Amino acid sequence: MQVDTLQLIDEWGPEKVVCVSDRRSGMRGVLVLDNTARGVGKGGTRMSPDLSVLEVARLARTMTWKWAGVDLFHGGAKAGILGDPTAANKEEILRAFARALSNEVPAEYVFGLDMGLTECDAAIFVDELGDRGAAVGLPRVLGGLPYDELGVTGYGVAEATDAAATAISLPIQGATVAIQGFGAVGQAAAERLIELGAVVTAVSTASGALVDAGGIDVAKLVELRRHVGDECVVEYGGTLAPAAALTTDAQILIPAAREDVIDKDLAVRTTARLVAEGANMPSTPDALEVLHRRGVTVVPDFVANAGGIVAAAHSMDARYSPFTVDPVDVFPMISAKMRQNTVTVVTEARARDLTTHATAQEIAQERVRAAMRVRGQVGAGGW
């Protein structure tokens, strides 16, 4: 986890980098508070055997833009533990990590879930600190919202897709959609798009791809996924390589798996009029420029996949409530935020002839800068 943290600092942050350790458990971890001008730091906590301070800092910066982009009042932050999430003494490590950050949590940062951590791990943080406000992502029995079970991120991707389609005069009714990745995000996006009237014609997982120009029976595919996971496309009858979902003829393309899957070559060949980035960083910078020149509208990742953090914000508002968070209240909130922000970004990008990524970044930065300005932070320290 060695890095010169001073080299990470720019005009936005980070404001604080806290490295912690515990000799007894072997715990080593870090918290990065990037920019809290708009509110308490919030971002997931991950556990990984190859974690670095730089990785956590970059993720914290992404959260700064994501919160500002969706226009909710939390600050960018991220935390991480260097270690194996399957370790036998994981609970001991988590408790040591929580204790080490008791000065920062929850006054400056609220634990959340990311790679390597589960709802039960969030419950451990709450139990160790004796404060229900210490974490979000709690199990349902503690009043939490089961994000993956509800499919909030994928639902938000579908809402953003519909809003963008309307903005570019692409009727969602009957529109053909290809989805790369059929995990929690891809599945929920597919289900919601079907409800909106779209036709899902291609789906892929790590096991293969399924393409059907007449439309895939998404309900059948979801049922298969419950039993066989990624093999669902094969069980359904898919025989193509996974990349086929990216190259098939479709009006809407949703990359919802890995980063950098849309490269310059694919950007030239795709037939899609609209790309909604369900995954983080699925398009290379070169690809984004090509798509822009070709007139293909892209809903940027930190706009399209922000449904999860909208739900997290709802959970944070209810952390000290004696009542269980009602999922029924969450979906309208996600829909309103996703649609509003998507239309703002797409409309402004077209008016200024900029990429949607550049436009979304500018909007997010100006919101953060405005908060810093009223707090008297702009210009301090020589920036």
pLDDT reported for residue 313: 82
Is it the case that residue 108 has pLDDT exceeding 90? Answer: yes
Clarify whether residues 199 and 170 are in a common domain.
Answer: yes
Cα–Cα distance, 350 to 197 (Å, whole number): 26
Cβ count near 191 (within 10 Å): 18
Q: What is the 8-class DSSP label of residue 15?
A: S
Print burial letters for 159-176: b (CB count within 10 Å at least 16), e (below 16).
bbbbbbbebeebebeebb
Clarify whether residues 125 and 261 are in a common domain.
Answer: no
Instruction: Provide the CATH number for the domain around residue 274.
Output: 3.40.50.720
Clarify whether residues 169 and 207 are in a common domain.
Answer: yes
Clarify whether residues 9 and 131 are in a common domain.
Answer: yes
Cα–Cα distance, 227 to 288 (Å, whole number): 37
Clarify whether residues 15 and 106 are in a common domain.
Answer: yes
Residue 78 annotated in active site: yes
Cα–Cα distance, 17 to 51 (Å, whole number): 15
Q: What is the largest CA-CA distance in the chain?
A: 61
Question: Which structural domain, as residue segments, surrounds residue 52?
Answer: 5-145
Clarify whether residues 96 and 185 are in a common domain.
Answer: no
Clarify whether residues 119 and 60 are in a common domain.
Answer: yes
Q: Which of 16, 42, 66, 78 is catalytic?
A: 78
C-alpha to C-alpha distances, 327 to 2, 8, 54, 196, 248, nearest whole angstrom: 41, 38, 35, 20, 35
Clarify whether residues 170 and 263 are in a common domain.
Answer: yes
Q: Which two tokens stand for residue 146?
A: 């089961």
The distance of Cα 182 from the centroid of its chain, to the nearest Å, equals 15
- Which of 338, 340, 358, 323 shows the shortest CA–CA distance to 132? 323
Per-residue pLDDT reduced to its tens digit, 137-174: 888 888 887 777 788 999 999 999 999 999 999 999 99
Cβ count near 289 (within 10 Å): 16
Categorize the per-residue pLDDT at 7 as very low, low, confident or very high, splitting at 50, 70 and 90: confident
Cα–Cα distance, 324 to 282 (Å, whole number): 35
Average pLDDT over residues 226-241: 94
Clarify whether residues 41 and 85 are in a common domain.
Answer: yes
Q: Do 152 and 159 contact (CB within 8 A), yes or no?
A: no
* Residue 286 domain flag: yes
Give the end of a domain, one of 88, 118, 145.
145
> Mean pLDDT for the chain?
92
* Residue 361 domain flag: no
Domain count, the chain: 2
Is it the case that residue 312 has pLDDT exceeding 90? Answer: no
Categorize the per-residue pLDDT at 380 as very low, low, confident or very high, splitting at 50, 70 and 90: very low
Q: Which two tokens stand for residue 5?
A: 């943290």
Q: Please tell me which residue, 129 or 116, carries the higher pLDDT value.
A: 129
- Which of 198, 173, 203, 171 shows the shortest CA–CA distance to 185? 203
